[in-house]
Structure 1
Amino acid sequence: MHITPFQTPTSNFAGEPALVADRIKIVEATIRVLQQLDYHAATQIDVAAELGVDVDAVTRHFPSWDGLVIATMERWMSGRQAATWDVALTHGAVPFLRELLTVNINEPALSRLQLAILSAASYPDYAGHSYIRHQYMTLLGYVQHALTEDILAGREPATMQPVHGAEQLLAIYQGFQLQAMMLDFDALDAFDRATARLRRSWPDNDATPDPAWIL
């Protein structure tokens, strides 16, 4: 079954077609605003100015700034990353995450927003905590599913445990996503080297770590 790690754009926009169209316009305007302003600095007022409307026209649909930001991130990510979903099915989990990293490098504003929201949503009282955690767990599950398919297709060794492989790959992907924002270096080359070394270890992935080495 073809699955994707994120909902389709505006999948949570229920209502009449005219209302959905208005919300999409607001979300797309928010994308443009967040390409210019930091998530913490922007407000619905900036979105209204981008649209040339009164702020009430925005808050009527999105009373909460965090709610608008989450809806915006969903559409932004889905729109930019839609072409990457098939990569996992045809080439595997590692090329899939490499494509996601490429998208993030080419869209630094989106990358900053993702990391800011993930950080905020780690706090249990954050309004979008449950939703963002669900989306993150869905991505983790999708990578795990892709690795299972990799084993069946002979792209990865049967000794690799997909649950552990997914944890490792996401750690590499997100680590280099952060470093690409902070350092002037080739994140894709670093990703390729790190995942190549990781994949060479997977035939022995069932080995128990040596506590003496860890200590």
Structure 2
Amino acid sequence: MTEEMSARPAARRGPYAKSARRRAEIVSSATSVFAARGYRGGSLREIAKQIDLSLTSVVHHFPTKSALLVAVLERADAASIESFESDTRTKGVASAVLRYVRRNLERPEMLRLLALMAAESSAPDHPAHEWFRDRYERVIAGIAIAVRRDQDEGRISNSRTPRDIAESLVALWDGLQLQWLIDPRRDLVAGVTAALEDLLGIQNALDA
């Protein structure tokens, strides 16, 4: 391979990297706008203005507002879900949930965004309706697998079906999270810990 040939891929990486950075900037701006105003209240023009871009530039990367919303939701969700699933395998459901809660306390804007979008998307015509429906199914199914593993290993004593426990756990988390977003003086970790101990039939969830 000649020096000239080996240099070509590097030349292509420049514009690609710049485009990726620009997309990330737009997604970050959209996250802020949607978290503050909701999907219907936020506009592409406001998202562009926040990072000194033209509306045309935003539309170049995200042709529709709904496409941008999906990118925002996927970024908000991806890393935390992957980490949560890894923790359930090594530490069990209770420990994984509490680690997830503590991490989320450091990103209230993301929590607010997901809570707001989930509420808005209950309308069947909302562009994120199917995304949230699929997300709930995916999350519940993943937790159910982890619950079954914990039951088999004797980590939890609740004998209800894993699916039932997973659905209850997601409902508890959503409710406690919303209460904390409304009133941050609440002790979210303590609330989730008590709920876990009651639901899973365990003691000292903080030490799990």
TM category, shorter: 0.7 to 0.9
SS in 1 for 2:37: coil
For 1:195, the equivalent position in structure 2 comes to 196
| 1:119-172 Cα shifts (integer Å, max 9, x gaps) | 122211222222221112101111111111112322123733101110111111
Report the CA distance between 1:189 and its aligned residue: 0.5
TM-score, length of structure 1 as denominator length? 0.74
Structure 2 residue ranges without an equivalent (≥5): 1-14, 203-208
Q: Indicate how the Cα distance of structure 1 residues 20 and 132 shifts in structure 2: closer, same or farther if over 3 A, else same.
A: farther
Contact kept, 8 Å, 2:180 with 2:186, in 1: the verdict is yes
TM-score, length of structure 2 as denominator length? 0.76
Report the CA distance between 1:69 and its aligned residue: 2.2
Whose radius of gyration is greater, 1 or 2? 2
Q: Which whole-Å CA distance do the structure 1 matches of 2:168 and 2:19 have between them?
A: 39
Structure (1/2) with the larger helix percentage: 2
Q: Runs in 1 of length 4+ with deviation above 6 angstroms?
A: none
Q: Indicate how the Cα distance of structure 1 residues 197 and 157 shifts in structure 2: closer, same or farther if over 3 A, else same.
A: closer
SS in 2 for 1:160: coil
Q: Which whole-Å CA distance do the structure 2 matches of 1:32 and 1:187 have between them?
A: 23
For 2:131, the equivalent position in structure 1 comes to 131
Supply the AA of the counterpart residue of 1:196: E
Q: Indicate how the Cα distance of structure 1 residues 198 and 174 shifts in structure 2: closer, same or farther if over 3 A, else same.
A: same
For 1:143, the equivalent position in structure 2 comes to 143
Q: Which whole-Å CA distance do the structure 2 matches of 1:72 and 1:197 have between them?
A: 34
Report the CA distance between 1:18 and its aligned residue: 6.1
In the alignment, is residue 179 of structure 1 matched against residue 179 of structure 2?
yes
Q: Indicate how the Cα distance of structure 1 residues 158 and 181 shifts in structure 2: closer, same or farther if over 3 A, else same.
A: closer
> How many residues were matched structurally?
185
Q: Indicate how the Cα distance of structure 1 residues 19 and 142 shifts in structure 2: closer, same or farther if over 3 A, else same.
A: farther
In the alignment, is residue 117 of structure 1 matched against residue 117 of structure 2?
yes
Q: Which whole-Å CA distance do the structure 1 matches of 2:50 and 2:137 have between them?
A: 34
Report the CA distance between 1:84 and its aligned residue: 3.2
Task: Indicate the percent of aligned positions where both proteins have the same amino acid.
Answer: 23
Q: Indicate how the Cα distance of structure 1 residues 59 and 52 shifts in structure 2: closer, same or farther if over 3 A, else same.
A: same
> CA RMSD of the aligned region, Å?
2.6
Q: Indicate how the Cα distance of structure 1 residues 182 and 51 shifts in structure 2: closer, same or farther if over 3 A, else same.
A: closer
For 2:29, the equivalent position in structure 1 comes to 29
